[in-house]
Amino acid sequence: MHQAVASTVRFSREEALLIITGAAICAAIAITYHVLGFSVIRSDVRGYADWSHHLFEHRVKYHLPGYPTLIALSRVLTLGWVGDAVLMQGLAFICWVISLRVLSLTLEKVSPESKRLGLLLFGLYPFVGVAYIVYPIADILASLLLIGAFYCALRKLWWPFVLIAAYGLLVHKALWPFLFLLMLACMVWMGMPRWHLALAGAPLAIYYLIMTPPGKNPLWILRWHLDRELTSQSSFPVFDGILGTLIQGSMKGMFKGGVLFLVFLSTVFLGLYLLKRKECLLLALITPLVIFAVTLNQHEAWALLRFSKVLVIPLCVWLVVQGKRGIAPRQLSAYIGLAAVLIVTNIAWAAYIMMYFDSGPFQ
């Protein structure tokens, strides 16, 4: 028993090195922000931080209370000695570290031969792997919950799965399609009792009922997103986030649209591969990315990349099953080169965050 627990929490040398690397990148970005006078407490981060000081008020109509509650609990545990920015960055880093360990356990089960590559790609995922640790929106926590839910589903650990899903539904609305499809796949193909679906959704249902007094629009929990995120901003009724971004005419639009298009193509390719192999659980994990690509507009299309980190798992499976491990770098120098490229993208995105907010409407 003790050996099993120890093996679960013990980090390998590769994981430890990746954690140290991530910590160094985050520290460098945070120090640079501080020197340049850029505060991360703004926009969504400010919304979460303010709500954590007033938990029983519905502070932000387009957010959920799960992340503010965790921030508030952490503030209590640290006796209020840590400022909001550092507290939220610390939470994000801890979630990132735990997600690496959970991913490692997942890949040991589905694709152990490509685990080292998978950890590197996930931990330093292009642009958003560690940049959102320093700018601590709810994405890192959401990624941890999603990977954790998938791991529990894979191992048929139904009670942990239900607890993670129940909390995840209260953390980020982008998790709703992921968790719903995972729960559906678990019920249909994995033997999970059906009443677990109701149990996992109960906390969200209770929150919704409490926050919907008589006379209030019953669609309030989705209205902002329907107007802000799903309304096309171009002549394309669907794929506005990709196609509309590509035709903006600017270098930034072409680059962003190109990245999103590559994510979409990768999702479709891996989805067809998983469908052919009848890998229902993995297919449920990545299908919401197709939904995002089709429905999200230009304003919110970047969410497609932010949540595409889950593609790392089926990619690793594909590399091994198809006997294409040669595609993955084997020499240490190749891994260092790949890591360097990933690090540069994260630093570039951190710089973009600062430039966007310093010149944008949220300052």
Q: How confident is the model over 172-186, as pLDDT tens digits? A: 999 999 999 999 999
Report pLDDT digits (tens) over 253-306: 999 999 999 999 999 999 999 999 999 999 999 999 999 999 999 989 999 999
The label of the residue with tokens 């931080």 reads 49
Q: Which two tokens stand for residue 191?
A: 């033997």
Residues 6 or more apart whose Cβ sits within 8 Å of residue 312? 103, 118, 121, 122, 125
Report pLDDT digits (tens) over 137-188: 999 999 999 999 999 999 999 999 999 999 999 999 999 999 999 999 999 9
Report pLDDT digits (tens) over 217-267: 888 888 877 778 888 888 889 999 999 999 988 899 999 999 999 999 999
Write down the pTM of the prediction. Answer: 0.94
Measured distance CA(122)–CA(309) in Å, rounded: 6
The label of the residue with tokens 């919110």 reads 300
Which of the 8 DSSP states describes residue 248?
A: T
Residues 6 or more apart whose Cβ sits within 8 Å of residue 342? 120, 121, 124, 125, 126, 129
Whether pLDDT at 6 is above 60: no
Per-residue pLDDT, 51 = 95
Residue of 336, 316, 337 lying closest to 327 (CA atoms):
316
Per-residue pLDDT, 328 = 53
Residue of 95, 126, 121 lying closest to 314 (CA atoms):
121
Q: Are 353 and 362 in contact (CB under 8 A)?
A: no
pLDDT band at 329 (very low <50, low <70, confident <90, very high): low
Residue 247: left if φ>0, alpha if ψ -120 to 50, beta else—which one? alpha
Is 265 exposed, middle or buried (CB count within 10 Å of its CB: 0-12, 13-18, 19+)? exposed
Average pLDDT over residues 313-328: 75
